[in-house]
Each structure stands twice: as C-alpha cells, then as structure tokens.
Amino acid sequence: MRRKLAAGNWKMNGSRTALAEVEALIAAHPAPGCEMLLCPPATLIAAMAATAKGGPLKVGGQDCHHKPSGAHTGDLSAAMLAEAGASHVILGHSERRADHGETSALVRQKAEAAKAAGLVAIVCIGETEAERDAGRELDVVGGQLAESLPDAATGADTVIAYEPVWAIGTGRTPSEAQIAAMHRFLRERLVARFGEGGEAFRLLYGGSVKPDNAAAIFAIPDVDGALVGGASLKAGDFGAIITAL
C-alpha cells in the first residue's frame, strides 16, 4: 500500500516570518491522512524542522550536491541537509535542469548521495510543451526516468514526481486522461525495471495543483500525491490539498 504524499516546494520564497504559515498548517492538520512535506529554501530547513517538532510535517531540501564534501562553493551535501533536519530532498526539478544544466546522469548521482545520507529523494521528470506537441513525451519522460534513477532505488527511498514543464506555475494542467496515461506508463516502466518493487514507488503529479483541481487529480489511478509549488506557500491552500488527498 503506497502512502499518499503531499509535498510542497517553496522554491526561492519565504523567510522566517513565513514559519507562521507552517504553524497554522500543523495546527490545522495534527493527524493528516497522508504524508505531509514542505521543502523550504535551505536557510529555513533548521528553523522549519524546529517548528515541526518531529510531528507529522516533514521537512526537505530542494537540491543537494552529488559529493559528500569538498571544494564546491555554495553547494550543500545530502548529509548537511539531513543534519539540518531534512528527511527528503527534491532532485532534478525542471528549474534546476533548465537554470543549472542538470542532466539525468547527474540527478542519478545526487539520488545515490541522498540515499547514502538517509534522505528520501523526490526525483522530478517531465516534458516541455514542444516535446509534447511533437508527440515525444513518453520518449522524453521514459528516458529521464531510466537515467535519473539509481539501480539501487526502492520505493522506500525514492519518490518520482511527474511534472510537465509547461504546467509548472502556469495555471495550466494536462487533461486527466493525459495524466492517467503518463502515470500508467511510468508504473509500467518501473515494474519492467524493478519487478514487483516497481509497485512501491510513489508517483506524484506536479504542475499547477490547486485546491480546486486537487481532488480530481488525486482520483486518477497511480497518482500517489502531488508536488506543489505556488499553492504550498499558504497554509490554507496547501491544507486544502492535503485534505483532498
């Protein structure tokens, strides 16, 4: 049985004052029916973890370096995130792939580093609009899945987030049929590679998930939760998504 996951990605937003939203979220959802995770900027991980007090809200990073230490100015290792209070880390988000040239091969190394540090990796994959228009979405996403996941990945240490790039922050979402087709395809690929273990990976949908479309998206087979950007910044909106899950 895959436990549903509502994961929020604050991106480069939020300051210590935003922790009031976290307190409100925890107060409104003391025993959520799903796993609840927020990934703030790295500067807020320790403070958010302190606010969460080991309760139902988990805290994650938005990226990590693939090496454990060394001369990598500005980077953070997976172990550093864990020491700050993170239990998860988002890897290969399309903004990192686009802004920092991250390849699936690098994402795979990062996922290995996350596993070594005891973090759950949320590996992001998704096609651009041009790739979908060209009918290449399965090729692209299937390739990213194959290349980004370590052979040793399991459903316990790895979550996959399908995030069509054209749906992120745009207010546009794929049709329910398009989400269903992609998640079915991903499940088939996971089972083909990992056997029965492929059934254990949670598949999140991400891209303009809001309180008003969450229930319909969560009703789609093989959607095990969501990776939420903008709507995770407000306790009320993220809470409504958690309730829909």
Please report, in range form, the residues annotated as the binding site for substrate: 9-11, 169, 208, 229-230
Q: Does 102 bind ligand PEP (CB under 6 A)?
A: no
Task: Please pick, from the candidates 61, 85, 174, 207, the single residue that binds ligand PEP as defined by CB under 6 A.
Answer: 207
What is the spatial distance between Cα 8 and Cα 203, in angstroms, rounded to a whole number?
Answer: 15
What is the spatial distance between Cα 116 and Cα 119, in angstroms, rounded to a whole number?
Answer: 8
Q: Which helix (H) or strand (E) holds 197?
A: none
Q: Is 66 a catalytic residue?
A: no
- Which member of 88, 93, 131, 183 is catalytic? 93
Burial code (b: 16+ CB inside 10 Å, e: under 16) for 126-157 equals: bbbeebbeeeebbebbbebbeebbbeebebeb
C-alpha angle 172-125-13 in degrees, rounded to nearest 5: 65
What is the spatial distance between Cα 114 and Cα 10, in angstroms, rounded to a whole number?
Answer: 20
Task: Please pick, from the candidates 209, 214, 241, 244, the single residue that binds ligand PEP as defined by CB under 6 A.
Answer: 209
Question: Contacts with ligand PEP in 175-204 (CB under 6 A)?
Answer: none
Q: Is 95 a catalytic residue?
A: no
Question: In this structure, which amino acid lies at residue 216?
Answer: A
**Which residues fall in the annotated binding site?**
9-11, 169, 208, 229-230
Q: Does 40 bind ligand PEP (CB under 6 A)?
A: no
Cβ-based nearer residue to ligand PEP, 14 or 230: 230
- Specify which residues 202 forms β-bridges with: 159
107: left (phi over 0), alpha (psi -120 to 50) or beta: alpha
Question: Contacts with ligand PEP in 145-164 (CB under 6 A)?
Answer: 163
Task: Tell me which residue has its CB nearest to ligand PEP.
Answer: 229
Q: CB of 191: closest distance to ligand PEP in angstroms?
A: 25
Q: CB of 196: closest distance to ligand PEP in angstroms?
A: 29
Q: Does 208 bind ligand PEP (CB under 6 A)?
A: yes
Interface ranges with ligand PEP (CB under 6 A): 9, 163, 168-169, 206-209, 227-231
So which residues are the catalytic ones?
93, 163
